[in-house]
Amino acid sequence: MAAEERRQAILEVLRQSERAVSAGDLAERFSVSRQIIVGDVALLRAGGADISATPRGYVIVKAAVGLVRQAPCRHDAAGMEAELNTMVDHGCMVQDVIVEHPVYGQLTGSLHLSSRYDVQQFLRRCEASEARPLSDLTGGIHLHTLVCPDEAAWQRVQDALQTLGVLLEGTF
């Protein structure tokens, strides 16, 4: 398969997938190295494809179905699991995390977490790579973009985060 054909096939796989697809899975599928896939995705992005890299692999960003809201939070690394589980337990998908860096400005990390299983996989990946959360750069202050099924779910998440003590004050 020619390189351009492979890139179009990768794009089609990502468009049809309901879940993130890892570079390793794509490499196996197309009988190339993981590094070739990483390069292919970079070229697809440069060509305008809206591909995001998440902790579980690549996804095509689809229009959010539901209410998109941002929750400003503050906690240390130990509070991350409870915070994320609280959000998904109340029916919302955690789309990303955003911090304000003094040099680079806004830094955004794609998450796309919608279940406790997703949260556990994300935390395992953080632990295995010894990666620190983006919020470490800002004393624990960060925003999460959430996609909630309705206003009631958004209200439940806010209430639960406030009870947990991680929701920044004055956000209602």
Q: For the segment 95-144, what is each residue's pLDDT rounded down to a tens digit?
A: 999 999 888 899 999 899 999 999 999 999 889 998 888 888 898 999 99
The confidence score (pLDDT) of residue 170 equals 60
Q: Does residue 83 contact residue 160 with C-beta atoms inside 8 Å?
A: no
Sign of CA dihedral 30, 36, 38, 41: negative
How deeply is 163 buried, as exposed, middle or buried, from its count of CB atoms within 10 A (0-12, 13-18, 19+)?
Answer: exposed
The reply to whether the predicted model has a pTM over 0.85 is: no
Is the pLDDT at 145 greater than 80, yes or no? yes
- Calculate ∠ Cα 129-41-25, nearest 5°: 60
The confidence score (pLDDT) of residue 171 equals 44
Find all residues with CB under 8 Å of 128, minimum gap 6, and list them: none
Strands (E) located in 3-157: 51-54, 57-60, 67-74, 93-101, 105-113, 141-148
Structural domains of the chain in order of their starting residue, each with its CATH number:
3-60 (1.10.10.10), 67-164 (3.30.1340.20)
d(CA 84, CA 88): 6
Helix, strand, or coil here: 64? coil
The confidence score (pLDDT) of residue 64 equals 66
